[in-house]
Structure 1
Amino acid sequence: MKVLVVIDSLNFGGAENVLVTLAAEAPRLDLELEVLSLAPPTGGKATWLPRLQAAGLPVRFLGLERLLQPSGIPRLARAIRESGCDVVHAHLEDASTLAPIAGLLARRPVLCTLHHVPGPLSGREAVRERLAVAVGSRSAGLIFVSQGSYDGFAAVYPRSHTPSRWSIVHNGVDVRRFRPLEPGSPAALPSEFGIPEGAPVAALVGHMRPGKGQEEAVRAWPDVVAAHPQARLLLIGNGPREELLRELARDLGVASHVVFAGARDDVHDLLPRATLAVLPTHSEALPTALLEASASGIPTVATDVGGVPEVVVDGETGWLLPSPSPDLVASAVTKALDDPEELARRGAAARVRAETVFSASGWADALAARYAAVAADRPTARLEDGRP
């Protein structure tokens, strides 16, 4: 079966990352994948292209400059027909708005996935989200990546809530690639990081943009260092707030204890060598970074928002915070570092949870079943009100 994956862009993010994971599972399920980015490959909107190509995914760019570009839907419909796909899977808001309509013209069923939780929006962004939910709810199916995301959208958009078409499919993580260190493996992180051997390390993986939690973690670090002088905060990723974060670390006197690793392709090698993960995020549907940390066998300190508690079980696989307050982050990280045995226990439990609940194979199986169902029942792909 051929699946055309339509996505807003190939920018840095969790939705783009899961395509690499799905590519690894596709041969086992006899799935042929092709990726179509709505955005052009300019302006930082093709960050993930090398990784997708390395995974063997053919990638095309439609080159749309804006959502309501008049030629957008006809061009997308033509691209769908030319792909020869059996099913279209749209990811993110713009794709979930355009692909169901284009799929109707191309006579192909379309599934949509939203990867966020709704928040306070206004203006163009509010319209963009509302369109995605309204149109996606009339496609062959609207998928949410967590119960937190599903519940959030059902509360904000009750008129679009369609239980017969809405469903939850948790994203998965490659538990063969992300795994704890083998006994006897070197535990040291790359020497370029300048981290002393044996120093406790909290890793935060994510794009450096507002609300992702890097600022709160940096603000927490002086208190962590006061209790654990060797402790390092390892920030993996890049983004528009990187320089601000560097300045903040210098102003707080912890620049030597905050390591900026940049965007990396070896996260699977870095995480199992960290002591724990930290993510004081403001909003998250199902953070890929925490799935990867869990599979790597390290526990997490994170905010109890969105789909985070579906990954991190407080008291079992990590520590959940009621808010991303730096004081709370510092207290939880300090408490965790005070008890190495508890760190090890929760890290082992996190690995088990990743294997049993969030494995890439289980996630891919669930998607493949939906692809087969909508491909076999094409009338359900029509945009219409009422029941399928």
Structure 2
Amino acid sequence: MSALPTAAELAGIAPAHGRHVRLLLLTDTPVLAAGGSERFLRNLIAGLPADGYEITVVQLNAQLGEGIERAPVFARPNVKVQVIPVDAVYGRRGLRALWALRRRLRDEPFDIVQSHHEKADLLNALLPRRPGRLHVSNRRDLGFKKSRKLRQAFRLVNHRFDAVVAPALEILVALAGGEGVDRQRTVWIPNGVDTGQFRPPSPAERLRARSELGLGASDLVLGCAARLVPVKRHVDLVAAFAVLHAQRSEARLLLVGDGPLRDDIRRQAEALGIADAVLLAGNREDIDAVLPALDIAVLASSSEGMSNALLEAMACGLPIIATTVGANGQLVQHGENGLLCPPCEPDVLAQAMLELAEAPVRRRAMGNASRARVQADHSVETMINAYERMYQRLLEPA
């Protein structure tokens, strides 16, 4: 049992505004980027009530940093942002960032310092402690990027966090076993999605989305929103889609996102003779305008935390095909709102695609189940409520 509140305890309970909270958020990645971790952070910043929270965001990455203070998420009077680029924590920039954060904590009475990703976590762990200030690590994935040395380093510093929070129970279990995180200091808060922004489309919205993407009204469209990086296993996704396309020539694969594997994916599609059926849409800030074009959402990753991309697709009423990694098994009930496949097995993934391609009525039923599941358990309001309850619980006098 965790000494901190569990998701069940936090969900559905009105937040307790016991005190005004000064919150310092540290993150490795560009807050304005298109990834799921970044969308989570934007939702958290925008969702915490302005009358209860004063928020400072420090981004340890120069990308998308120019003019960042003018972004809508930072336009609220209770939110400030600063960019402090860090290449490596142990390098010169890392040391400068550490001293800049120490000065900031000396001059401003923050109640909670919360970090996201490895560099931010290490800096957070190295910051001095003082009574009344809490340090929280927010782990977003299973740590697939961590080297053995980095895991050993985290084993040495994890005790310095007052709480470790994650969107998936699998992450917390892995941290306890692999990094020695004390389960008494862990809390599970699932990701949430804006069910007003992400919703099933009308027939007109569906046709408009397809027209803008160059897709036909009768096309069978499978889509994946994910960075084009090895862990997302686009190589398996494209290979599986080739099997589907051989039997269903109207099938199209829409890949939303960008990354270092873009050219490799294009070459693979050309080699398989399906280049015309694979659309590389690049990064899209309006993913809510793209999802209405899909018939099926697919995620073939070899590692995940709790995928915001899946949640958004589910909120739009889509059936899901996903691999059995991370929290995918929590989001997708096999046979109810989608199909689950083992990772790195494109033949099995292809069979799942063929199964749903031949069953439009079943797809609609699965899509309805996806939407209902998100509304019940994964709204952004439920997530924000849970974070508020966690903060207030942590700040309660011992």
Q: Is the 8 A contact 1:91 1:112 kept in 2?
A: yes
CA contact (8 A) 1:77 1:106 kept: no
Match of 1:148 among 130, 152, 170: 170
The size of the alignment, in residue pairs, is: 369
Match of 1:383 in 2: none
1:384 corresponds in structure 2 to: none
SS of the residue corresponding to residue 353 of structure 2 reads: helix
* 1-structure distance, mates of 2:51, 2:247: 50
Contact 1:96–1:135 (8 Å) recurs in 2: no
2:276 aligned to which of 256, 265, 273: 256
Distance 1:361 1:130, change over 3 A: farther
C-alpha distance after superposition, 1:62-88 (max 9, x if no partner): 233321244443322223344543222
- Residue 376 of structure 1: how far off its partner (Å): 3.5
What is the percent sequence identity of the aligned residues?
A: 27
Structure 2 residue aligned with 1:104, among 121, 129, 139? 129
Deviation at 1:58, TM superposition (A): 3.0
Shift in CA distance, 347/361, structure 1 to aligned 2, threshold 3 Å:
same
Q: Distance in 1 between matches of 2:48 and 2:272?
A: 47
| Structure-to-structure mapping, 1:108-127, within 5 angstroms | 108-119=133-144, 125-127=147-149
Match of 1:241 among 243, 257, 261: 261
- Residue 2 of structure 1, CA deviation: 2.7
1:339 aligned residue: 359
8 Å contact from structure 1 (residues 238, 262) kept in 2: yes
Written as runs of structure 1 = structure 2, the 5 A alignment for 1:308-387 is 308-377=328-397
Equivalent residue for 1:59?
A: 81
Shift of 1:107: 6.1
2:48 aligned partner: 26
The CA deviation at 1:132 is 3.5
Distance 1:72 1:321 in 2: 43
AA partner of residue 266 (structure 1): D
**Highest RCO, 1 vs 2 (Cα 8 Å, sep ≥ 6):** 2
2:8 matched residue in structure 1: none
Amino acid of the structure 2 residue aligned with 1:54? P
SS in structure 2 of the partner of residue 203 of structure 1: strand
Which residue of structure 1 lines up, in the alignment, with residue 312 of structure 2? 292
Compute the displacement of 1:105 (Å).
5.7
Which shows bigger deviation, 17-26 or 239-248? Answer: 17-26
CA deviation profile, 1:84-129 (whole Å, cap 9, x unmatched): 43222111122122213315169621111111114485xxx33333
After superposition, the C-alpha distances for 1:146-178 in whole angstroms (9 at most, x for unaligned) are: 011112222223xx2312201211111111111
2:288 aligned residue? 268
Cα gap change, 1:154 to 1:366, in 2 (>3 Å):
same
Alignment check: 8 A CA contact 2:65 2:83 kept: no
Contact 1:14 1:288 in 2 (8 A): yes
Normalized against structure 2, the TM-score is what? 0.85
Asked if structure 1 preserves the Cα contact closer than 8 Å seen for 2:209 and 2:292, the reply is no
What SS does structure 1 have at the residue aligned with 2:183?
coil
CA gap 1:113/1:224 in 2 versus in 1, 3 angstroms = same
TM-score by length of 1: 0.88
Which residue of the partner structure matches residue 139 of structure 1?
Answer: 161
Q: Distance in 2 between matches of 1:25 and 1:154?
A: 30
Write out aligned runs for 1:8-47 (5 A).
Answer: 8-10=28-30, 13-27=35-49, 30-39=52-61, 41=62, 45-46=63-64
Moved more, 288-297 or 148-157: 148-157
Return closer, same or farther for 1:321/1:32 CA change in 2, 3 Å cut-off. Answer: same
Distance apart, 1:265 and its partner CA: 1.1
Matched, 1:129 2:151: yes
Tell me, in whole angstroms, the C-alpha distance in 1 between the residues paired with 2:239 and 2:388.
43
Aligned AA for 1:126?
Answer: R
Amino acid paired to 1:94: K
Deviations 1:295-353, CA, capped at 9 Å, x for gaps: 11101111101211111111111100023322112111111010011101111111111
- Compute the displacement of 1:249 (Å): 0.8
Corresponding residue for 1:94? 119
Report the RMSD for the aligned CA atoms in angstroms: 2.4
Q: Any conservation in 1 of the 2:24–2:110 contact (CA below 8 Å)?
A: yes
* Kept in 2: contact 1:233–1:258 (CA 8 A): yes
Q: Distance in 1 between matches of 2:319 and 2:390?
A: 32
1:199 partner amino acid = D
Contact 2:210 2:216 in 1 (8 A): no
CA contact (8 A) 2:111 2:132 kept: no
Q: Which runs of 5+ in 1 are unaligned?
A: 380-388
